[in-house]
Chains A and B, each alone.
Chain A
């Protein structure tokens, strides 16, 4: 087998390859909507998700969980009525390695050992050949606790009246400073303050979490499951099982939605299945039902943002302070990274001459929160985009004008001091959005109409940015590796740990290779994400797959081509058939041919992890979101009547997939804004059923109109930027801005439910009546 490394650098290589492809006269594959690679299986029901797989002798596993938010475990009793000898029982004492789910820190136990810190914390594991026996068995385990006081809100946590984590309940804090903000207040013509909050949001992938584990003393541990990041699970299992890397194998199965909810949690459920498999010597399957998945797994971090902004007479922002706090739940897990992204995005697409951003993630006694599309940015951008409208009102400018006057321009620096190097014209983008949404005409029509009609209508804008890829030195730290393999039958195969869970990973990576090599899309395949088979190309998160991994895959593919040409089997210009023949011949002669590419940080991406300054992301995507809403006067329900999503994304590699990502993301963001409320009671979600946790149905969403612009991106495959998370950032504030436009009342917290609108309108009505009553001042 021949294998070699292609060094990946930033620069102009993309352009040269595109030209070559054109010269070869091939029809472009990148930029067209080729069939989804695994689409056929999905529409025939043949696609195999973890619960579709059954292994001989397989047991079913279940988890006994804490019923209290915090306390010491005094005693565990198994009801003698049950035949416990039929069950496999695993406790923390059965853990061969370290009792933790390894992530950023090792503070989260795999199984509680002597104490619990959140409701639904896993304590014991059970397995049985008959899956029907498990619910009763779980109910038959009694745990006696000595309860300790629990902390349930960010404020309680901040007060430090009770310390539940570390020395001060703080998982992480960041300070981002630009310029001298303390001197700015005297110069301000206006000082605008506001506090904004967002609630938890459940990812609600339609396929619940599930894993199957097998253990063989020689081969080691293998898990198959629903997951985003095979090597995260691999790392966690190594630590838990004390097995070396080559004796732990993680295989991703078809995954029914993830959205970040299967970034870190799968390590927990995989660990559980693995422990049961190791103890029993049999395959074990654990699949959650909907209620368990909702109450026990991660959600979007609730947030609270406080803004204090110094504004000049002309509406230009002079500087400000932003206080951004997120609720991380009981253990650290990914909170520092969510916090980081939220903090870096807190200033949005505007120029801040000076700013101070204080960000912290605090602990509460709830199940740890986790990744959900956007990853901190939807939270801080909700606050910012609401605050911009508040600033507009105070200053006496329109929401459009306040943004125009403050947009970042090429050559200016972001809040972390990153110079905007691309020719992005945000004013022009906004103009286009306003035109597409018929903003001015509608606003005028509604302004007139609202006085006469009971149904109030309004328009709202949000302008956002989203950094693609891991922050700062994150990509360098990941050091992603990809491989492309030439196969004996003449086809080419992509080897990455990047996973498909609906966003089109497989399709786009194969498109990129086909384009780069000038072969047919049908001639390119991709290996299953199996840690025994594929290199670690990093996690499938942070909108990095197409951009970062795609670019590496392209390099690796070109390496194959170069080898074939160098071997004399291929000319500089060739047909797909000639390529296949060359491939076949080479492999027949020399054996398998693998080309490897490893990530190298472009020289112009420089980041200071200490001061949290520099180039935070290799590329930003930019967006304008405009919502039209109607508020029903009888029911106080808000419906989104029209929605325009306009975004600059570098390059659209696959129009149908790209549109699908935007529409799907906007739909989730509409849910975030108007429908999806987690009802908490002492750290436990009370509405853990689809009946009571409300996501939009097909009858609830408007036509979501999607438009793209393409400025290219030297750091992304074929000029692409990441877009998966972008559509989560803008719709919520655009909608709440529109509600304010419709009702003349400000709402600063989401989800915004009709009950809240009623309460506020009712109070307003009472106040207005008092004010206009005879004799009132």
Chain B
């Protein structure tokens, strides 16, 4: 343990308005901490720059899931276990449910939150590609009020987001329009559990008589931010699923991603696997029941 606890201050006002008021009073001075599964690792290693933290763990406004007719509103303070346990997320937003299962072991799922995953903004975070393909909307909140932003633009660059210094993510809004899609996700890591992903894919698709009607592809760990593979989607949409399309899909995806060499893997491996993952998805889409 390489940090001196006496040099840090954590407060827990136990109400959202109080937290927001604190953030507004001293923007940038207080670092919000939810489940701590990222921040406490940095802290323990002696790498946490923030000295003042404000707890947003278990705030009722943040830790709730509301199901409406048209959409689901997931509080940013929901843990991965909360997501796994929720019936509608399991049935209509399976990609998010799967990602929750893959995020660390049970103990980390009990504390890690979806909001924390987003704000920590690691490109390797497991749940972010799912949010991209579900075209999530973020509801941000501060003392100044609420605003809604499309998730697709939230990650500005590596570990940098649109979140203002006095803001928190209040909730993630997902439209209930994906039941008809074929959903597929896969995480590639160094081992089957407790692994930071080398590449991960979240995908939705619709096919009719062997032709791709619609396709959404998002990947983690292949760029500075979670990446929607727009060019690959364009190359595939409206095309017949044959061997030729598989080759095109593989090549386009491998070229569209921007992976790096790092301590976990190589750029060329990631690019190749990215291509393979897309092909694997297309093959499964092709074999699935024709939708609509």
Contacts and interface: CB of A to CB of B under 8 A. Distances in A.
Touch A–B, Cβ below 8 Å: yes
A633 B276 contact: yes
Interface stretch (A26-34, A129-137, A350-358, A407-415): A129-137
A374 B192 CA distance: 27
Contact of B269 (A289, A694, A758): A758
A289 B1 contact: yes
B269 A136 contact: no
A701 to B, nearest CB: 9
Interface string B256-288: 000000011110110011001101100000000
B45 interface: yes
A291 B263 contact: no
A135 B2 contact: yes
B4 A136 contact: yes
Given A696-B191, A699-B193, A636 B273 contact: yes
Given A289-B1, A635-B276, A700-B193, A755 B266 contact: yes
Interface string A671-706: 000010001000000110001101011111000000
B230 interface: no
Given A686-B263, A687-B263, A694-B195, A635 B273 contact: yes
Contacts of B191: 675, 694, 696-697, 699-700
- Specify the main secondary structure of chain A where it touches its partner: loop
Contacts of B280: 634
B interface bracket (residues with beta carbon within 8 Å of A): 20 to 34
B263 A132 contact: no
- Specify the main secondary structure of chain B where it touches its partner: loop
A210 to B, nearest CB: 14
A755 B265 contact: yes
A634 B1 contact: no
A220 B146 CA distance: 69
Given A635-B273, A758-B272, A697 B193 contact: yes
Contacts of B45: 291
Interface in B157-199: 186, 188, 190-196
Given A687-B263, A692-B263, A133 B4 contact: yes
Contacts of A634: 186, 188, 273, 276-277, 279-280
A82 to B, nearest CB: 12
B40 interface: no
Most central of A133, A679, A692 by chain B CB within 10 Å: A692
Most central of A635, A637, A697, A700 by chain B CB within 10 Å: A635
A132 B6 contact: yes
A377 B191 CA distance: 26
A136 B1 CA distance: 11
Interface in B1-34: 1-6
B46 interface: yes
Interface in A96-138: 131-133, 135-136
Interface in A579-617: none
A162 interface: no
Contacts of A289: 1-2
A132 B3 CA distance: 7
Contacts of A759: 268-269
A673 to B, nearest CB: 13
Most central of A131, A686, A700 by chain B CB within 10 Å: A700
A686 B3 CA distance: 21
A694 to B, nearest CB: 4
Given A635-B276, A696-B191, A754 B269 contact: yes
Contacts of A132: 1, 3-6
Contact of A700 (B6, B192, B277): B192
A687 B190 CA distance: 13
Interface string A736-777: 000000000000000000110011001000000000000000
5 contacts: A135-B1, A135-B2, A696-B191, A755-B265, A758-B269
Interface of B: 1-6, 45-46, 105, 186, 188, 190-196, 263-266, 268-269, 272-273, 276-277, 279-280
Given A675-B190, A694-B195, A697-B105, 11 more contacts: A131-B1, A132-B6, A133-B4, A289-B1, A675-B191, A679-B263, A687-B263, A694-B190, A697-B193, A759-B268, A762-B268
The 4 closest A-B pairs by CB, nearest first: A699-B192, A699-B193, A135-B2, A132-B4
